[in-house]
Structures are given as structure tokens and as C-alpha cells.
Structure 1
Amino acid sequence: MTQANLAAAVIALSFAVVILLLVRRQRLGSWQILWWLAAACGMAVLGLFPSVADWAGERLGIHYPPVLPIVVALCLLFVKVLTMDLERTRQERRLRILAQKLAGVEARLHDLEHPSPGDSDRDDLT
């Protein structure tokens, strides 16, 4: 094992420890835990066994196999950013609907607390 492999394995292990600490403090949701632990495991595998990237690169026909982990990592980051944007958009939509419902409830509450003089006439007509 070379110095670079050992350094990569230590970084991956440190990354996994930080993730577990965040889980313990309930800073990550269940899907995020799986995502980041898979990333830490992938880093550890590539750090301890760099020949895995060479083997996969040869099987896929990549002429320079060390670039494979970088391309895969970039693709996974794009997927992660996309899923985060989808979730943020969903939450914004839910928040907007909730704000609209709250405004309606507040308006009704205001009308009940402060009836206008014409409201009693309107109630008589119905």
C-alpha cells in the first residue's frame, strides 16, 4: 500500500466518521445517510484498492482508467444537486400553499373578531 492509498483510505474513514456524527446529531435524513455512506465506502474502496478503477476502466474501454472515478463522482454530484433542487422546489411549493392557507385562516379570524357593520345585514338576507 502506497502513501497515496493510505491517505485516501484515511480521508474516506474520516469522512465516514463525520457522517456518522452528523447522523447521531440528527442533522441528516435517512436518504442522505445512505447517499453519503455509499460515497464514503466508494472512496475507501478506491483508496484501498486503486486497481478497481483500472479494471473497471479497461472493461468499459476507457483509455485512461484513472479518470473513471472522477467522471463517476461528477455524475453522482450532478444527480445529488438535481435531487436537492427537486426537493427544494417541492418544499417551496408546500410552503407557499401553507402560507396561503394561513392567510385565509387569519382573514376569517379577523372577520370574526372585528365584524363590519354591513355583515349583520348580510346575515339577515341569507
Structure 2
Amino acid sequence: MLTGQITSAILGVALAGAILFLVRRDHLHGPYAIWWFGVAAATFVLGVFPGLVVWLGHATGIFYAPVLPIIIGLSLVLLRLLKLDIDRSKQERRLRRLTQKLAILEQELVRLGGSADTEPADDDE
């Protein structure tokens, strides 16, 4: 049992180190880093104090304690996916509005006697 605790604690610390590395290299930004630091901290705490899972399981009415971290993990994954979909929807809306504004500006340029480039610049096909 002690080996599982040590392994989980080491995984938590390693995950925190990887997050710090990614933040320093500018591959992971603030809000995302905070989310992942929470995951690393939870992994570390549950590794060091495995009795906490049993206590939380009984406190929430789940008497087979090992299923509690799975339920929590899946719930957090679903919340994260929802947040990603919300962010993607916002980006798509902004892109659509920017495209509309660009079309309006090109039309205004043509109306004023200029020449609007109607061909897209670099499309990633």
C-alpha cells in the first residue's frame, strides 16, 4: 500500500514540475496552468492521504471508495470539455464577426474607388 502512496505522490510532483516547465516555455498559459496545478495537487494529496478517499466516500454516501476519484475525475473532464466548447464557440463567433467586418471594409474600399483584393491570402487547405 505504501508503494501506491509513494507512486501517486511522485506523479503529483512530476505533474507539477511538468506544468512549471510548460509555463516557463510559454506552452501553457495562466488559467490552464491553474487547472492543471489543481489536478497535480489532488493527485499528490490523495497519494499521501489515501484515507481521505475513504472518508470522502462515506461522507458522500459512496461506500465503495475507489469509485469516488473516478466519478470526480470524469466529472472534471466533462466540465473541462464544456469549457473548451464554450471557448471554441466564442472564437467562432469572433471569427465570423471579423469576417463580416472585413467584407464591409472591402466593400467600402471598392465604393471609394480603391481596389479590394477578393482572393483569400493564404488558406490552409
For this structure pair, what is the TM-score category when the shorter chain's length is used for normalisation?
Answer: 0.7 to 0.9
Q: Helix, strand or coil for the counterpart of 1:19?
A: helix
Note if 1:79 corresponds to 2:83.
Answer: no
Q: How many residues matched? A: 114
How far residue 108 of structure 1 moved from its aligned partner, in angstroms, is 2.0
1:1-126 map, 5 Å = 2-111=2-111, 112-114=113-115
- Gapped regions of structure 1 (runs ≥ 5): 115-126
Percent identity over the alignment is 40
Structure 1 counterpart of 2:114, one-letter code: E
TM-score between both structures, scaled by the size of structure 1: 0.83
What's the Cα RMSD here? 1.4
| Letter of the structure 1 residue corresponding to residue 22 of structure 2 | L
Larger Rg: 1
Which sections of structure 2, spanning at least 5 residues, go unmatched?
116-125
**C-alpha separation between the residues in 1 aligned to 2:64 and 2:39?**
22
With normalisation by structure 2, the TM-score equals 0.84
Structure with higher helix content: 1
SS at match of 2:66: helix
More divergent stretch after superposition (33-42 vs 98-107) = 98-107
